[in-house]
Chain A
């Protein structure tokens, strides 16, 4: 069954699965980083704490996306099992090296930032 057939049979479930939440996540990350910098620069006590706001925001947002997908997946599993299966997301070719090296780069960045908090 292709995507067109699935959308025709289960239009509401298909629409729920395709909400463009990724853009909201990117906006949330940018906003939380901005808020963290402003709050940390304000000189209040515990200036390290605001720097955890971006991490909390993005992890919390990912948890919400996963919980949402799980809820929709459970609903689909009961009514339309073919909708539970993940669709392949074709990414542009230039993202392949980024995805390949993102984890080690983030580890090095994390060690550098963690070094600041360690002190």
Chain B
């Protein structure tokens, strides 16, 4: 790879991330706009299973986006001082406090994410038990009413999941082992 290669890869990685964020904002904005301007539902009740594009294309798009997220996750810039092999022991109390604060912020964000997922799961169970629309039917309705924007939104979510959860294999130099 030429010297410019890593730089281009980093910008491409950032571009993919911005594109995924842009698609999600567009999909959410479209859904809110439609809901605010149309009194009736966007689909039949219950929503039809088939729509354009076909389901297998949606699944393929999501799988491809998941793999793309995994691959582009390798391209992002990692500050060498954050790699375990290079991370020195914090020697002063001020450094320990600063690093400790960073750990606590990450734990706080993780807790907020887990509580959000928990709330969605509880909503799904309550809806299924009481005969109301579960989240599944809202997603199916969006797919039925606007197939391609919904597919792009789903692909953006799986892109982010692939980027954040399917971790790249670290070299021994990075892991310090």
Contacts and interface: CB of A to CB of B under 8 A. Distances in A.
Given A103-B166, A117-B136, A73 B103 contact: yes
B57 interface: no
A62 interface: yes
A104 interface: yes
A46 B114 contact: no
B165 A103 contact: yes
Main secondary structure of the interface of A (DSSP, over half): helix
Contacts of B97: 77, 81
B158 A66 contact: no
Contact of B122 (A1, A56, A66, A118): A56
Interface size range of chain A in the complex: 35 or more
Interface string A47-59: 0110011011001
A59 B118 contact: yes
A103 B167 contact: yes
B114 A119 contact: no
Interface string B83-124: 010000110010011011101100110110011011001101
Size class of the contact patch on chain B: 35 or more
A73 B111 CA distance: 13
A77 B124 CA distance: 38
Contacts of B125: 49, 52-53, 56
A97 to B, nearest CB: 9
A100 interface: yes
A41 interface: no
B34 to A, nearest CB: 22
B90 A77 contact: no
Contacts of B99: 84-85
B110 A66 contact: yes
B128 interface: yes
Nearest to A96: B169
B49 interface: yes
10 contacts: A46-B131, A49-B128, A66-B107, A69-B107, A73-B107, A77-B101, A103-B167, A107-B158, A107-B161, A119-B49
